[in-house]
């Protein structure tokens, strides 16, 4: 059974999340799969020239050079193993290998580290303008929909308007926002937020932080201090450090990820605005080159368009047109 058919059977019942992946990845799919279709149409056999052009398509989709090289090597071995001569048979193999390379033989680690019957502290980091505050609001909405009590901490006391922006989201979602005045010590905000969350018997505390990168040393010191205060009050916290990255910035997002990985122990990536780029391959590059799992992806503007990441749904979103096409061919046969 081809991998396309397996995907189709797995996602036969089109749930909302699968539809969102399909819709949200339309720009990448239209660019990536159309070029892949052209490549398959131009080559009758799977040869070295075919793989060279495939490398170029993948790199242009921001999959990342190292990841592309590994993917192509794996594809070459699989083509030999299955004795694939015709290029028509290669697309399903590519989709399978994308999932394999993402997980790299490990168990999926996309789920959040939630604390049972205790306060879960989630620290958000990321530069200004990537959609960090919006993502915090959407995540708070999801938790509230799941019946959890949520508190927000306005720890970005540096950027003008950041506190008010988070407070607007808190009011919109219907959760409390703990804040100090602009220019206050972010660590003091976190201390008060922890005390407030405990007093309110909250399930989740989501903490915003400043996103300035002009001085990496200051960034590191500030994040270390914030984490130290949280850990002192709640041993083992923060339970997640989520880095928000803007998918539309491509390789620039990789640079930011490396800086924040140095500054703090990032446990997961939230990739925003994935629906706004044709270079959705950045998902694979981040996981493969940085070893940090993508935990959420932004697939649109609506409140429920922030979706937990799933590599198979991601690949289905990339190849859904081809999956549907294969099914039609089988029906005709």
Enumerate the known binding-site residues for GTP: 126-133, 208-212, 272-275
Size of the chain, expressed as the number of residues it contains: 333
Strand, helix or coil for residue 312: helix
β-pairing, 294-298 with 306-308?
antiparallel
β-pairing, 294-298 with 176-178?
unpaired
Edge-to-edge strands, sheet with 176-178 = 176-178, 150-155, 204-209, 120-125, 240-246, 268-272, 294-298, 306-308
Question: Binding site: what residues are annotated?
Answer: 126-133, 208-212, 272-275
Dist. CA 132–CA 140, nearest whole Å: 12
Cα-based angle 5, 8, 13 (whole degrees, multiple of 5)? 155
Q: What is the DSSP string of 56-109?
A: HHHHHTT--HHHHHHHHHHHHHHHHHHT--BGGGHHHHHHHHHHHHHHTTSPP-
């Amino acid at each position: 059974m081809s991998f396309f058919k397996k995907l189709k059977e797995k996602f036969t019942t089109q749930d909302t999340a699968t539809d969102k992946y399909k819709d949200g990845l339309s720009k990448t799919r239209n660019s990536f799969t159309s070029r892949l279709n052209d490549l398959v149409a131009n080559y009758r056999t799977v040869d070295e020239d075919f793989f060279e052009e495939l490398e170029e398509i993948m790199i242009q989709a921001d999959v990342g050079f190292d990841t592309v090289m590994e993917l192509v090597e794996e594809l070459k071995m699989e083509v030999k193993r299955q004795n694939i001569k015709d290029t028509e048979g290669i697309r399903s193999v590519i989709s399978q290998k994308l999932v394999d390379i993402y997980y790299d033989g490990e168990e999926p680690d996309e789920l959040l580290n939630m604390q049972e019957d205790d306060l879960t502290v989630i620290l958000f980091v990321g530069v200004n303008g990537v959609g960090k505050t919006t993502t915090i609001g959407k995540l708070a909405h999801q938790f509230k929909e799941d019946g959890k009590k949520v508190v927000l901490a306005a720890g970005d006391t540096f950027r003008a308007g950041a506190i008010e922006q988070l407070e607007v989201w808190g009011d919109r979602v219907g959760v409390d926002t703990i804040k100090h005045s602009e220019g206050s010590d972010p660590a003091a905000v976190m201390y008060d937020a922890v005390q407030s969350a405990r007093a309110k018997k909250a399930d989740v505390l989501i903490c915003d932080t400043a996103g300035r990168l002009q001085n990496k040393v200051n960034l590191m010191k500030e994040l270390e201090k914030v984490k130290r205060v949280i850990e002192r009050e709640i041993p083992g916290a923060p339970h997640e450090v989520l880095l928000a990255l803007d998918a539309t910035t491509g390789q620039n997002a990789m640079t930011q990820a490396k800086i924040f990985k140095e500054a703090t122990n990032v446990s997961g990536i939230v990739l925003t605005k994935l629906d706004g780029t044709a270079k959705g391959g950045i998902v694979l590059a981040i996981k493969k080159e940085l070893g940090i799992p993508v935990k959420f992806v932004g697939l649109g503007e609506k409140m429920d368009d922030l979706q937990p990441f799933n590599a198979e749904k991601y690949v289905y979103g990339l190849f859904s047109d081809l999956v549907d096409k294969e099914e039609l061919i089988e029906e005709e046969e």
